[in-house]
Structures are given as structure tokens and as C-alpha cells.
Amino acid sequence: MLGSTFGSIFRVTTWGESHGKAMGVVIDGCPPFLDITEEEIQAEVDRRKPRENSAAATPRRESDQVQILSGVFEGKTTGTPISLMVTNENTRSGDYGNIQNLYRPGHADYTYDLKYGRRDFRGGGRSSGRETVSRVMAGAIAKKLLKTSHKTEIYGHTIQVGHLKLDNFDKDFIEQSELRSADPQVESELLKLVETTKNAGDSLGAIIQIVIKNPPKGIGMPTFSKLEADLARAMLSIGAVKGFEIGGGFAAASSLGSENNDEMYSQNGETHFKTNNSGGILGGISTGEDIIIRLAIKPVSSIAKPQETIDTNNQNATIETHGRHDVCLAPRIIPVAEAMAALTLADHLLLQQTTHLQD
Amino acid sequence: MLGSTFGSIFRVTTWGESHGKAMGVVIDGCPPFLDITEEEIQAEVDRRKPRENSAAATPRRESDQVQILSGVFEGKTTGTPISLMVTNENTRSGDYGNIQNLYRPGHADYTYDLKYGRRDFRGGGRSSGRETVSRVMAGAIAKKLLKTSHKTEIYGHTIQVGHLKLDNFDKDFIEQSELRSADPQVESELLKLVETTKNAGDSLGAIIQIVIKNPPKGIGMPTFSKLEADLARAMLSIGAVKGFEIGGGFAAASSLGSENNDEMYSQNGETHFKTNNSGGILGGISTGEDIIIRLAIKPVSSIAKPQETIDTNNQNATIETHGRHDVCLAPRIIPVAEAMAALTLADHLLLQQTTHLQD
Amino acid sequence: MLGSTFGSIFRVTTWGESHGKAMGVVIDGCPPFLDITEEEIQAEVDRRKPRENSAAATPRRESDQVQILSGVFEGKTTGTPISLMVTNENTRSGDYGNIQNLYRPGHADYTYDLKYGRRDFRGGGRSSGRETVSRVMAGAIAKKLLKTSHKTEIYGHTIQVGHLKLDNFDKDFIEQSELRSADPQVESELLKLVETTKNAGDSLGAIIQIVIKNPPKGIGMPTFSKLEADLARAMLSIGAVKGFEIGGGFAAASSLGSENNDEMYSQNGETHFKTNNSGGILGGISTGEDIIIRLAIKPVSSIAKPQETIDTNNQNATIETHGRHDVCLAPRIIPVAEAMAALTLADHLLLQQTTHLQD
Amino acid sequence: MLGSTFGSIFRVTTWGESHGKAMGVVIDGCPPFLDITEEEIQAEVDRRKPRENSAAATPRRESDQVQILSGVFEGKTTGTPISLMVTNENTRSGDYGNIQNLYRPGHADYTYDLKYGRRDFRGGGRSSGRETVSRVMAGAIAKKLLKTSHKTEIYGHTIQVGHLKLDNFDKDFIEQSELRSADPQVESELLKLVETTKNAGDSLGAIIQIVIKNPPKGIGMPTFSKLEADLARAMLSIGAVKGFEIGGGFAAASSLGSENNDEMYSQNGETHFKTNNSGGILGGISTGEDIIIRLAIKPVSSIAKPQETIDTNNQNATIETHGRHDVCLAPRIIPVAEAMAALTLADHLLLQQTTHLQD
């Protein structure tokens, strides 16, 4: 649960720096007999890659070829640690003079030095968004586990970029959209916004929504390990995330109890909720309704505009970041957020199995 | 880190049900030599109590007399587990017929039965807000630790109730305000809103802000244990919290990188930030700037208005909750959120001490 | 898993000092629906008490009245934290001048000061054997869980005191024997040895054996959390234990592979082992055979004979400990070791339930 | 602390199966600025390899070339996860028909199937001794940490093989001896014993001793995380270990308190102990004296003699294991036990830094 390890039972440990030799993850505690292939993991990893020819995305390209190094035998998990790795190829070594001595505003350069006294400054090192490829690899296995056992489906879409709201919903459009928007009607307006911002040397924030259909029912815990608490931690552990809402979220603040409570009723022997302002979780435990989360994504910190900063000798300086950067992180954070949601639910699903003594 | 335990080094375990014999907490991992008295803990516990004669607060009264049962010797901590307890007095036993068989909308009744198959239905049992008295006791010690070592101060105030925004800021007014608002100018309007809502048998949501002044610098972790991630988990583990923001939060979504980045400069040998949109944390590690958090609080679920629901036999029913309930939780959640912030920071402060080998 | 907390799923946290107000334990993660009464827990706590009029045991007497403070409702566990407590009565406060300034050989006085810089010196404070009453309370619940689900029975007996071996085995005699020996034939010789040693102002070591009948089959883990590893940790966490063996133990060192391997065979469709040199565990996982453990117990450190030591100012001194002390700890450690075995198995039993996805 | 992860702060996660693609380990929580090279890790890994032309050791040969994949930058650790890997080369794939269907006595084949329902049967898969190469890699870093900060030295030697005791002590001889014995006088007798046993198709048990010179003083914890408890767990987590002693160990059982207590005295302002029966730990916390541990090693389970067993269909069968096996594991377990000791101490050293608030 600490540092680079996530989860209590389905435990994931990531490693690797942006411009080191490789990125990897070890998953311990995954049940045996789960069918999994490198191709299935690859598909999720590919979704995380920057889109070809997209104005929103960095031109850095990595093949990110997934290797299963342990824990899978004859196509099925064995119950022992699963080790997954991709190598780093496009690392442009030796080309970091600027970053080495300057603290980039909005980045972790300054705080890493505060904490550790040193850092691997090559491409952000461990604080790089590249670390999330390890999460996506692990998340692919968690997704498969949830899908196999509960037909759980997890997907995300961008609902706001800058001031532009993406209100229409066409699920099939999401993976076509450059920004993973579900709103085909404003896609061209959206692309123009991205292009304009890029040309101005600037970047854009966004709001994304994560939807979990058919979550396992009755998982989660009271007190500190509430399902929404662990989801919030999972999401805020993603670099650029600055806010988290579940269900009604901040809008609940201005609602009345009579509006916000989700009334229940029984129909044909099944329990239903009239609304889902709770976002699928009550008292830390899932109701079985869709779990709905929204995340605030800050604009990319690396921008071409000059910014004031200091160097590592505490001298004032100016920095401009030209190079390989995304303009808006939303489309690339979505697969990561889906992965973190899957990891959280997989862990709670297994934890729930300890709640009752089996025969 | 699991279930009713919070923290990796400064580890807190709470226990107790709303109408059981007592509520308590064990703190393991607190350093020795910290001066602490029952009076200091009592002061925080008293802040959490419902305010006398307040329209916003439940009339249930507990003396909540704090007892230190272990871990403190001659007025100082010893480094071994600190056990704290308050007894439950005002429990009205035997008076729960209604709750026993009905699932209250917005409460954890239904999900506890989903998870456990049974629940202590007396006053909400373990899912009651009363559990937070244990957190406040533990938080008092964490606050003392942070204050002693870093002069850290943590306080919260209500910044919105229903649609009413409380924008003026007079810090001294907070503890005078019935709603822990810092805005004396709209206090009377606020009280009228509460009164009206109460008379209508309804309840109010709110937004609160937690401010951490002088946080230890350079604490937190990269990857999954980012300081903001652990703070988010801490906050979402409080019953009625539906949203979490740090720094710019959801507003960051509609800002540009050039607006949102906090530029740095050096003056008289000290490092400064021109703005604090990061909310005091970059890449999971504290910058030393104020840590600013906002929480969305849903309206109290127990309302006097009739609501549709089901009973434990899955039959449709109607419920009205008359009795001892708060109308708006904000003023009572504030001390709990402060406690959770203190527990999170105390834990990360001690964790940070493992980052460098001491002589 | 750290400090005063034991277990990953069935998690136990103890608190209390020898001469503080009370001793207690919180159990988090116990499944709901387990029938448990204060009387059942009391029965185990009573087994741990010093025997009346026994030469081997301290004359300190505590009523040790068990109180269940939370987590049990209408006679059954709820799945939420169970808080158990006994108060300290016979504390003779103010009578510790000697211990306060001297480091007792064989005790933790010196090392507590090394670690913490201070200690609660009243009766050994947290390092006192009295801490184990908390373990026995928690162990009573773990025993009940194992008995209910798997008819598991755990018992211990003393097999050696000083040089005297107790080789005969009459299970019914164990709880009659002052030393929890199963050998009625040498009981009088044993008592004489204890009496003589006591009169000489000295103390005795011992070897005890813990037997686990009908353990759950197939529990444990590979690698670091092997069942025998967690049992070894559990046992070495008891104050006076200096050695641990499982199955063949140290005798295995002088055996051949052909002698030590437990051959298997099938009879009437059931799997059997011809011998049980493994002690019921292979590769960290239980075979279903009896789990057999032996522990080396050092002689009681507090003796009446004068011993050289230093005081807290690092000055040479002499110490004699007259007062309320046991002569041989074996009979009192047995219930504690049984409790630790039960806690370890209960935790692994619940962990095992995470290994396969349930429907 | 669970499964394939060891440690609370200095956290090590191993992965890999005997005949999979590679073996690896991730170390999270290692402080920055530690000088470490692949060569230093390689030196420890080479010590674990089977000795060339030794009768005691398997002829399987692996180059075990250590690769540092992350966490080390410009020759020093960064504080972020360190990933280490060796590839498996000599795997003879496809040659496991016999093991696939038969349960080898003394091995984990049967219990893995009990626990998981399936196993990677190639060369023992995850239960193979080969897993320990990952521990030795991590241990090399822990050793370096302890050596750098406290001049701590950890070494082991074989003190008994079968019935043959190795009582003389010449430290320099250890790494020359085929069995890592420190007794040059009986080396030829020892080798004859090994040869004879091998020719008889049998195997030998042993006792090894681990000595920790200059351990950090005052580390460890009371209650469950006693230093000796965590060392016992560390040691019993090694495949063939069946017994653990610290200090006096089982001999303490037959000693008197007056003999077993380590008296203390002060000389030239320094604290000394007259004896070290405690083995360097009192009440769970290190005294600063040498930490002395002894381990019982069972004879190698794979023997050429025919043994009765069952197959995976629960049918009786006979098994003979010809092939690449060690005769006595002692010399190869020693580097592993040293590594586990180092990992345990490194973790407690870092944990101890959380005990006092630093300025």
C-alpha cells in the first residue's frame, strides 16, 4: 500500500524511469486460472500511447512491446507474481542540460530535490507520466479479472476541455475522438481549440468521467478503506489530477437531502434506486449501481511560453519548454484512470472474499 | 492501512458503534517525548460535539470524556501504543424498531447488509458519524506532533451551504459561527436558511475548505502514495464527503498552463512561488506552501420528509426520520477533516525520516 | 503487520502497560456471524493466569475480567472491529524505585532506553509479559473461528524443564499439571526441581510443544509469507522464546533425505503421509497433517540472586529481584503460544479465500 | 509484508519461476545516494551459484548476469524503485513429464496444487530454490546500506553436516570450503561424507550459523515486530529451513536464570555485556552485541533413491529423481540467509528513524 505498491491483496508494484532501460510492474496476489495474453495487455497499452498525428499529443513514440516475464503458464495465471515489462527505446540520452539545472514550474523537479536531495532528471525520471504505462499493464489484468467474474466494464471519456463542455454522449465515438470525447458534434471545435492553444505555446486542462458498469455488489469497507476513499487515492495518485468527485460530487453541496437521497424500490423481486446521486457507493460499499467518477485534470505543465523559475542553485531564471509534449492530457489519462479504477475494484473484490467464511 | 486502521507509521485503529459501550482508538507509532494531556484531546473532541441550541445540530448530547488508557507516562508519550476512549451514554437503547427493518435512503444500511449479511442497527452502528470521535481523538495527537515539530496549523471553515456562498474571510469568526463559516456578514442569512430548511423537514449540503499552514516541506511520495492521494483517501473516508479538490481543483480544468503553473523566484536566498494553484503539493510532495483542500459535503440523509424505500424483506415502504439529526454536517465534519489531515501529514512526516540515512 | 499489530486480514492490535490503567486489544477483519461470548474469552484468559499456590508462578493476582466493548451484537460478531479490555488492578503503584534506575539483566530495560530514550518502568511497562493477556483475548476469537470452520484444535504442553525431559504423553493431564506437562509420572520430580530452584533464588528454562490438529488444508503462501515463517515470527514475538522448530526441526539436520522425506500414499481415495517430518507444512503451505512446533523458553530473567549490572547513568551496580515473579514461564506461555498459532492460522485461512475467485 | 513482498520500509518484491524467462526483484524504499554497481550485486549472486566441480552442488549452471533496470543513476541510488533481473538460460524446456504428474516427497508440488489448483511444474516453478537469486540481489543492496552506515558485516558458515560437527573456526576458510565450513581440519572428512551420501543416492541436512557483527544498536520493536521475530520469519521463509535459534537457543531451555542472563558492566564509559546468551537482542531490540542465529537445514528432498508417492490423480506411484540436484543445501543457503538478515536489519534500521522526530 506504500510508495510504488498499490493494493492490499491484488498488489501492484511499478518501477522504471522515463529514460531508463525499461518500465515494469509486478502483480502479486492475482488468482490463478485467469486467461491472459500479451496481446490483451498490449491492447490497453496501445490505448495509452500518444495518438499519431494528433495536435494534442507528444510526438515521442515508443513501441511499448509488452513482455510477460513470469506468473503466466500455458496462457493462464498461476497465482504467483506476474512480471510485465516494456523497454524504453526513444530516450534521446544526453539531451537534458536544461532540465538538469532548472526547476520546471508545475513539475516535481523542485519537490524531488526537497525530498531526496537528488533526482534522475532525464525526462522527468520517475515522476514522468511514462510511469503510468506500468499501471496500464497491471490494469489490463485487473480489467480482465473483473470482466470475467462480473462482466464489469470500465470506460472513461472527456467531458470538458478548457471551457468547452462536451455534453452529448455517443459511446462509440470515444475511441475515435482525438480527445476521447463522446460528443461528435463539437469535435471539430475541440480540435480547433487544441490547435490554437498549441500554436500559442500553451496547454489545456480538462474534466474526465470514469464509468464502471456492473461493478461487484457489496464490495468496499467501512471507515478508512471506503471504496470511494480508495478510488480517490487511486485517482489522485495520477500526476495531473487535481480534483475528484463521485456521484453528485460538488453539486451535492447545493442540493437538499430530499433531492440528493436515492430513494429505493422493489420491482419483480429486484432492488432498484430511483436515482444514483451516490455514484454507486453508500457508506463505503458498492450498491451495484454504476460507479460514476469525475476528475479534474490540470493543463500540461510543460509549455513553450517563457516562465519565471529558479535553478538548482536558487538563482532566478527563465524557462521555455520546446519539445515533445502533450497539449491536453485527458485522452492519455483516461486509460490510466480506468486502470486505477480496475486495480481498486479488483483489490476490494478479493478483500470481500475474506468477509465470510467459506465452507 | 486497511479497514479501521489508517497510516503506515503513525498508525491509528478506531473501534466502537454508535450505541455500543464506548468509542475508542489505538495509536501505534507515535514518537516518544510528545507532551500530551487529556485536556488537549478533550478540546478537540469538544469542537466536534453538536453545538448547544443550534438549529443545524442534533440535540443528542454526549459528555465524551476522554480517557488515556495507555502510552502516556508522566505527561509524555512513550513510543508505545496510545489507547484513548470515550464511553457512550446517551444511547436510548431499545428504540430502533423502525431502522431495524427499513433501509434508510442515503445511509449504509442496505450496503452493510450486502457486505456483511447483518449489521448493528442501533443508531447506525459502526457506520454512524459517531465513529469520527475516535478520529478526532487521534487527530489531536497528530496535530500536537505537527505543531510541536513544525508549527503546523490546520483549520477548516465552511465556504458554501446550499447555494449560499460564504466568501468573506475573518478567521476569528470561524469558531463563533454556528456553521463554522468565516463570513460574519452572511451569518444571519445562513442561520435563516438552516432554520427554514429544518422546518421544511429537509437538510443542506455544503462545501468546506481545509487549510494547512506551515506544513513540513518535502514530505509525500511519488507514485501511489502521493501526499494529495493520501489526503484524498483520508477525506473521502469521512461519511458524507462526495468530492475533493486540491489547489486549483476543478477550476484548473478550464485554465491554461500559463495561468495554472506556479512560477518560482528567489528572494533573499529563499524560494517563493508567485501563486499556489498546486495547493502546496507537486508530484506528490509538499512544496512548503499552504496546503489547500476543499470538500463537497452531501446534505444529511436523515430527513423528516417521507421517502420511498424498501424493507429488509425487499418490500416497498415509506420512511420518515424524526429525531436527533443534524441539518448540515459541515461544522461537525470540519474537526474530523482537520484530524484526518493531521493524521495524513504526521504519517508522511515520519515516513520522510526513512528517506535519508541518519548518522 | 507492524509494531503492535499482527496479521494482514485478521488484524489484531494490542495496547497497555503492566501497571497502566488497562490492557486491551482490537481485532479488525473478523468475519461476521461468529458466536462469541465474554465467557469463552474469559476461559482462555483464566488459563493464562498464574496458578494459585504454584511454586512456579508469581503471586501477583489480577481478576482479568474480560469486557467486550464493540463488534459483537446479539452474541455474534458483526464484521467490524472487536474491542476487548481487562483493567489492571494489582498495580502497587509507586513501588518501582529500584527498577527505575537499574537495567535488569535479561530484560528490555536497557534496549527500550536505547530505542526510545525513555520507558514506562512500572513493572516493565509495555515489555511486561502482561501484554500477552491481550493476545490471549484475541486468540480466543481466532480459536473459535478455526474450531467452528474446521474443527481445528490447538494445544500446548511442556516437554522439558531445565534438564528434565517430560516424555510420557497423557493429554488429559496437561491442564492438571502445574507446569502444563503431559507426563504424570515425573510431575512430582518436576515440582521438586521447581521448588529447589526457587529456594536457590534462581529460575528455569523449558521447551514447549504446540500441536495443531485438523488445521485448514492448503493455507499458507510461497516465498516470504510461508505459513511456517509467519508461525516462527508469531512465536519469536513472545518475550522469552529463543528457538523455534517445526516438524523434524534441528534433528532434521542430522537425518538423510531418504529418512526425512515424508512419503505419500493413497488409501480409499484419501491422501496420506507415512511420516510427518515436515510438521504439516510443505513449501509454506499446509498439507492437512498436524502442525507440530517446539519452542525454546529461556529461564525467567528476574531472579533473587545478586547480579552485576549498570544503572541508567552507566555506573556499575548490583541487583537482586525479590518479589512477584514466575520461576518457569512454560505453563503461562503455552496459552499465549496457542493464541499466536490461532491468530496466524486464522489470518492465513482468510487470506486463502482470496486465492480463488468465488462465484 | 505479504506474499512475495518483504519489509515495511525497505520493501522487496521478488518474481520469477525456475524455468521461466527471468528472475527479478524490485526494491522500493531504499534511500538515495547509496553507491551501488552491478558488480557488487554480481559478487553476491556468484556466491550463491553452485560451486564448480563440487560433489555437494547441482551441475545446473546459469550465468546469472545481473542487470540494474531502474533506480540507480550515475552510480547512486535515487530513492525510487530499484529493479534487478537475471535471465534464465539453462532451462531444458519440455523435459518435465515426470514431475508434471507426480508429487515429489518433501517438495511443494502437492501443496501448491492444494492451494492454487495448478502450478508451473517446470523445475519447481515458483517454489524452486532458484527464487532465492532475487533475494540475494536485493540483499546485496541491503548489505551495502548496512556496511556504509554502520560497518555492519554479515557472514554465515556451516557448523554441522549430517552428524558431523564443524567446531573449529577459521573465518578465512569459509569461502574456500566446499560446504562453507569454517573448520579446515575436518574438510576432507566432510567431503568424503558428501561423496558417500551422493553415491548412495541420498542427501544431507545441516546446521548453519549466521553472525551479524556491528549491527545497528537500538533497532527492533516491542510486541509483534521484535527484531528476532522478523529474523525468524525471514529465515523460515527460506525453503529448507526447519529450525531457528537466537543466542542460547534451545540450550537456554536447560540453563538457569543465573547462567543465562547476560550481566552488564561499564568500563571506560562504555556499556558491556559479560556474555551474549541473548544473541544480541533483548525484548525485540538490538543491544549492539553480535547477533547470532543458527538454522536447521533439512536434507535435499530430491534424491535418487526410489520413494513412494502419489500422482496428481491420487494413484500410488514410485519416484526416483535423477538429475541436477544439490546433496547438501548449506553452502548455497548461507548467502540467502545473509541476504535475508540484511533485508531485515535494513528495514528495521529505517523504521527506527521514525521513532524520534528529527529537527
The chain B residue lying nearest A226, using CA atoms, is B237
SS3 category, B224: helix
**How confident is the model over C43-53, as a mean pLDDT?**
90
Beta carbons of B127 and A296 less than 8 Å apart: no
- Give the 3-state DSSP-derived string for chain A, with helices as H, strands as E and coil as C: CCCCEECCCCEEEEECCCCCCEEEEEEECCCCCCECCHHHHHHHHHHHCCCCCCCCCCCCCCCCCCEEEECEECCEECCCCEEEEEECCCCCCCCCHHHHHECCCCCCHHHHHHHHCCCCCHHHHHHCHHHHHHHHHHHHHHHHHHHHHHCCEEEEEEEEECCEECCCCCHHHCCCCCCCECCHHHHHHHHHHHHHHHHCCCCECEEEEEEEECCCCCCECCHHHCHHHHHHHHHHCCCCEEEEEECCHHHHHHCEHHHHCCCEEEECCEEEECCCCCCCEECCEECCCCEEEEEEECCCCCCCCCEEEEECCCCEEEECCCCCCCCECHHHHHHHHHHHHHHHHHHHHHHHCCCCCCC
Pick from B8, B297, B309: CB nearest A263: B309
Q: Rounded distance, CA C39 to CA C4, Å?
A: 25
The residue among B280, B299, B300, B165 whose CA lies nearest residue B231 is B280
At D59 the pLDDT is 74
Distance from CA of B134 to the nearest CA of C (A): 13
Beta carbons of D11 and A3 less than 8 Å apart: yes
Q: How many CB atoms lie within 10 A of CB D184?
A: 16
The residue among D72, D238, D201 whose CA lies nearest residue D141 is D72
Q: Is B3 on the interface with C (CB under 8 A)?
A: yes
Q: Does residue A222 surpass a pLDDT of 70?
A: yes
In this structure, what C-alpha cell is assigned to residue C187? 510431575
- State pTM to two decimals: 0.97
The chain C residue lying nearest D355, using CA atoms, is C116
**How confident is the model over A93-121, as a mean pLDDT?**
86
The chain C residue lying nearest B120, using CA atoms, is C73
* Mutation target among C10, C11, C15, C38 for the B interface, most CBs of B within 10 A: C15
Q: Is A224 on the interface with D (CB under 8 A)?
A: no
* Mutation target among C199, C282, C286 for the D interface, most CBs of D within 10 A: C282
Q: Does residue A94 surpass a pLDDT of 70?
A: no
DSSP state of C224: G
The chain D residue lying nearest B347, using CA atoms, is D354
Q: Is A275 on the interface with C (CB under 8 A)?
A: no
Beta carbons of D16 and A83 less than 8 Å apart: yes
What is the Cβ-side half-sphere exposure of residue A236, based on CA atoms within 13 angstroms? 37
Q: Is B292 on the interface with D (CB under 8 A)?
A: no
Q: Which residues of B touch C3 (CB under 8 A)?
A: 11, 28-29, 81
Beta carbons of B81 and C117 less than 8 Å apart: no
Q: Is A71 on the interface with D (CB under 8 A)?
A: yes
Per-residue pLDDT of chain D (359 residues; tens, 9 = 90+): 799 999 999 999 999 999 999 999 999 999 999 999 999 999 999 999 988 778 777 777 789 999 999 999 999 999 999 999 999 987 765 556 667 899 999 999 999 999 999 998 888 889 999 999 999 999 999 999 999 999 999 999 999 999 999 999 999 999 999 999 999 999 999 999 999 999 999 999 999 999 999 999 999 999 999 999 999 999 999 999 999 999 999 999 999 999 999 999 999 999 999 999 999 999 999 999 999 999 999 999 999 999 999 999 999 999 988 776 789 999 999 999 999 999 999 999 999 999 998 86
The complex's ipTM works out to 0.97
Q: Is D91 on the interface with A (CB under 8 A)?
A: no
Q: Rounded distance, CA D167 to CA D209, Å?
A: 12
Q: Is D4 on the interface with A (CB under 8 A)?
A: yes
* Mutation target among A18, A36, A70 for the D interface, most CBs of D within 10 A: A70
At C59 the pLDDT is 74
Specify which of A79-88, A92-101, C118-127 reaches the highest per-range mean pLDDT. A79-88
Q: Which residues of D touch B80 (CB under 8 A)?
A: 222
D-proximal residues of B, 21-50, CB under 8 Å: 29, 31-33
Distance from CA of A150 to the nearest CA of D (A): 21
Give Dmax (Cα) for chain A.
71
Q: Is D2 on the interface with B (CB under 8 A)?
A: no
> Contact at 8 Å (CB) between D264 and D274?
yes
> Contact at 8 Å (CB) between C336 and C45?
no
Q: Which residues of C touch A222 (CB under 8 A)?
A: 80
**How confident is the model over A4-29, as a mean pLDDT?**
97
- To the nearest whole number, what is the mean pLDDT of chain A? 95
Q: Is C2 on the interface with D (CB under 8 A)?
A: yes
Beta carbons of D283 and C112 less than 8 Å apart: yes
Q: Does residue C143 surpass a pLDDT of 90?
A: yes
At B53 the pLDDT is 77
The residue among D107, D128, D299 whose CA lies nearest residue D203 is D299
At A45 the pLDDT is 97
B154 contact partners, CB below 8 Å, separation of at least 6:
B143, B146, B210, B211, B212, B213, B338, B341, B342, B345
Q: What is the pLDDT of residues D319-343, one digit of tens each?
A: 988 776 789 999 999 999 999 999 9
Q: Is D285 on the interface with C (CB under 8 A)?
A: yes
Pick from C349, C350, C354: CB nearest A29: C354
Per-residue pLDDT of chain B (359 residues; tens, 9 = 90+): 799 999 999 999 999 999 999 999 999 999 999 999 999 999 999 999 988 778 777 777 789 999 999 999 999 999 999 999 999 987 765 556 667 899 999 999 999 999 999 998 888 889 999 999 999 999 999 999 999 999 999 999 999 999 999 999 999 999 999 999 999 999 999 999 999 999 999 999 999 999 999 999 999 999 999 999 999 999 999 999 999 999 999 999 999 999 999 999 999 999 999 999 999 999 999 999 999 999 999 999 999 999 999 999 999 999 988 776 789 999 999 999 999 999 999 999 999 999 999 86
Q: Which residues of D touch A116 (CB under 8 A)?
A: 32, 78-79
B-proximal residues of C, 105-134, CB under 8 Å: 115-120, 122, 125-126
At D96 the pLDDT is 61
Distance from CA of A12 to the nearest CA of D (A): 10
> Contact at 8 Å (CB) between B261 and A306?
no
The chain A residue lying nearest B158, using CA atoms, is A253
- What is the percentage of chain A residues whose pLDDT exceeds 90? 88
Beta carbons of B79 and D32 less than 8 Å apart: no
Q: Is B146 on the interface with D (CB under 8 A)?
A: no
Pick from B233, B256, B307: CB nearest A261: B307
Q: Which residues of B touch A231 (CB under 8 A)?
A: 236
Give helix D330-352 / helix D132-150 axis angle, nearest 10°: 50
Q: What is the pLDDT of residues C266-281, one digit of tens each?
A: 999 999 999 999 999 9
At D75 the pLDDT is 97
Beta carbons of D252 and C297 less than 8 Å apart: yes
The residue with greater pLDDT, D242 or A98, is D242
At B77 the pLDDT is 98
Distance from CA of A245 to the nearest CA of C (A): 27
Q: What is the pLDDT of residues D68-101, one digit of tens each?
A: 999 999 999 999 999 999 999 877 655 566 678 9
> Contact at 8 Å (CB) between A124 and A113?
no
Distance from CA of B24 to the nearest CA of C (A): 9
Q: What is the pLDDT of residues C95-140, one digit of tens each?
A: 566 678 999 999 999 999 999 999 988 888 899 999 999 999 999 9
At D51 the pLDDT is 83
Beta carbons of C69 and B11 less than 8 Å apart: no
Q: Which residues of B touch D8 (CB under 8 A)?
A: 8
At D123 the pLDDT is 84
Q: Which residues of D touch B222 (CB under 8 A)?
A: 80
The chain D residue lying nearest B9, using CA atoms, is D354
Q: What is the pLDDT of residues A165-184, one digit of tens each?
A: 999 999 999 999 999 999 99
At A358 the pLDDT is 81
Q: Does residue A95 surpass a pLDDT of 60?
A: no
At A96 the pLDDT is 61
At C62 the pLDDT is 81
Pick from B106, B266, B299: CB nearest A314: B266
